[in-house]
Amino acid sequence: MAIILSDQEIRWLRLRAQRLYPKPAGPSQSVAEAVGALCAVQAQYPPAAALALRPRASGFVAADVERARLRERSVMRTWCMRGTLHLLATEDVSWLLALHGPVFAAAGRRRRRQVGLDDESSAKGLEALGEILSGGKPKTRAEIACLLKRRDILTKGQAVYHLLRLAGLERVVCFGPDLDGEPTYVLFEDWVPSGSQARPEQPQAELARRYLSAHGPAGPDDLAAWSGLRKTSVRTAWNQIEDDLIEVRTDTSSFSMLQSQLPWLKKTPPDDRVVHLLPAYDPYLLGYRKRELAVPARHARRIHPGGGLLRPVMLVDGVAHATWKTQRMKDGLGLVVEPFEKLTEAVERALEAEFADLERYLEVPDQATPRRPRLNPVSTVPMRPSRTTSRPRPQPPEPLVSSRCRAGSG
């Protein structure tokens, strides 16, 4: 029998699954543990991926995310879900790419042909990449393009990008350290520590279980939208774990959650307002087929204005109440908030605490007088609801942090 819940109860459960509530406390987590708990974090724009971990973990700062990727190599940035760039725990990379890589490598065949790479030339290109990167030295895309050209591999237009993306999906290459602000590429087998890969017996079932652990309550259509996998594959995965699930319903929707999370239903909501500053492309917004529970329809265009943008959002009790951005200041970091409606004093107090934690995470030097967020006037311009619930194409958003803070985050 299904459990009947309100929309707000679903939000509280999702906030818990997303590790957004209660606020992390206790033993420090590693970056890899924080990423693994979410299964994957969108990383088309790396600073946003690092900021997504802040409210969900304790014990590290933004700069530690890049250290984990480069020094420990416990997390990796590569193409995976939906064929887009994600931050993954290194121990999960192989099995996740085994599920997603072939799907999006095949889906990209038409585009590769449009840029001049048919199956034969793509295969030759992959072989050439293996030779070019075999010395172990990371190389930029420009360096790779020059060496590919010497081997008579097409390099015009977007050919090199699409070849590298295919190589990433097929576990031939992955991202190495940045060089003068430019990403580099290395061989997957050289970068990934030997013996560090998990191999679940039922990868599809593991994906569904891990997804629900970090996003539930949710449905198979949500998993399909988040992963980009075919609905038939997702249904198979859902059926494999059906004994672990329980159905929950609202007045308009039906979801599943893991039975192991049932004790959360006995938790009482907090007395104080819970405020979060989430970055662009945060998992709380990208993790579901629809966003109505988190984003009221009348404000949808302010967060997803089109053109692939998904703006940073301020949540109050799991509902979007504002967009925000940081601002360069002579003596540190400023926060500008664009509220959709007038904020209460309780929300403003919680926002100040959240801003202070953002400064901590970005290692902004302490101020003699703590800086307060700047609240812009509530806009009176009506915003039309989004006409589509389609997922945004990942694009670099407006800068989230000042250049000073971004340099400090690795």
What is the residue-wise DSSP string for 150-205? HTT---STTHHHHHHHHHHHTTSEEE---BTTB-EEEEHHHHSPTT-----SSHHH
Please report the pLDDT score of residue 135 as a whole number: 86
Residue 198 pairs with which residues in a beta bridge? none
The bridge status of strand 319-329 relative to strand 313-316 is: antiparallel
Q: What is the mean pLDDT of residues 214-237?
A: 97
Q: Is the Cβ–Cβ distance between 247 and 256 less than 8 Å?
A: yes
Maximum C-alpha span of the chain: 66
Q: Which amino acid is at 190?
A: D
**pLDDT tens for residues 129-182?**
999 999 889 999 999 999 999 999 999 999 999 999 999 999 999 999 999 989
CB 354 within 8 A of CB 312: no
**The CATH number, out of the four listed (3.30.70.100, 1.10.10.10, 1.25.40.420, 3.40.50.1970), of the domain defined by the range 74-191:** 1.10.10.10
pLDDT in tens, 109-129: 999 999 999 999 999 999 999
Q: Are strands 275-278 and 313-316 parallel, antiparallel or unpaired?
A: antiparallel
- Judged against a pLDDT cut of 70, whether residue 14 lies above it is answered with yes
End-to-end CA distance of the chain: 50
CA distance 214 to 36: 9
Per-residue pLDDT band for 204 (boundaries 50, 70, 90) equals very high
Residue 48: half-sphere exposure toward Cβ, Cα within 13 Å: 29
Report the alpha-carbon distance of residue 144 to residue 129 in Å, rounded. 8
Give the pLDDT confidence score for residue 23 in this predicted structure: 85
Confidence of residue 213 (pLDDT cuts 50, 70, 90): very high
How many Å apart are CA 262 and CA 188, to the nearest integer? 40
Instruction: Report the pLDDT value the prediction gives residue 404, as an integer from 0 to 100.
Output: 31
Model pLDDT, residue 106:
97
Judge contact between 275 and 31, C-beta under 8 A: no
Under 8 Å between Cβ of 76 and 175: yes
SS (H, E, C) 133-159: CCCCCCEEHHHHHHHHHHCCCCCCCCH
User: How sure is the predictor about 370, in pLDDT bands with cuts at 50, 70 and 90?
Assistant: low
Distances (CA, A) of 30 to 33, 37, 56, 60, 69: 5, 11, 12, 7, 12
**What is the rounded CA–CA span in Å between residue 70 and residue 175?**
10
| Of 198, 259, 208, the residue nearest 234 (C-alpha) | 208
C-alpha–C-alpha distance, residues 184 and 374, integer Å: 38
Q: Smallest Cα–Cα separation from 185: which of 167, 159, 203, 162?
A: 167
Instruction: Give the dihedral of Cα atoms 396, 397, 402, 404; nearest 10 deg.
Output: -10
- Give the DSSP letter string of 214-239: HH-SB-HHHHHHHH---HHHHHHHHH
Answering whether pTM is above 0.85, one says yes
Who wins on pLDDT, 291 or 368? 291
Instruction: Please state, rounded to an integer, the average pLDDT across all residues of the chain.
Output: 90
What pLDDT, in 10s, does the model give residues 248-264? 999 999 999 999 999 99
Rounded CA-CA distance 150/24 in Å is 52
Domain assignments of the chain as residue spans, ordered by start: 74-191, 275-408
88 by DSSP, 3-state: which? strand
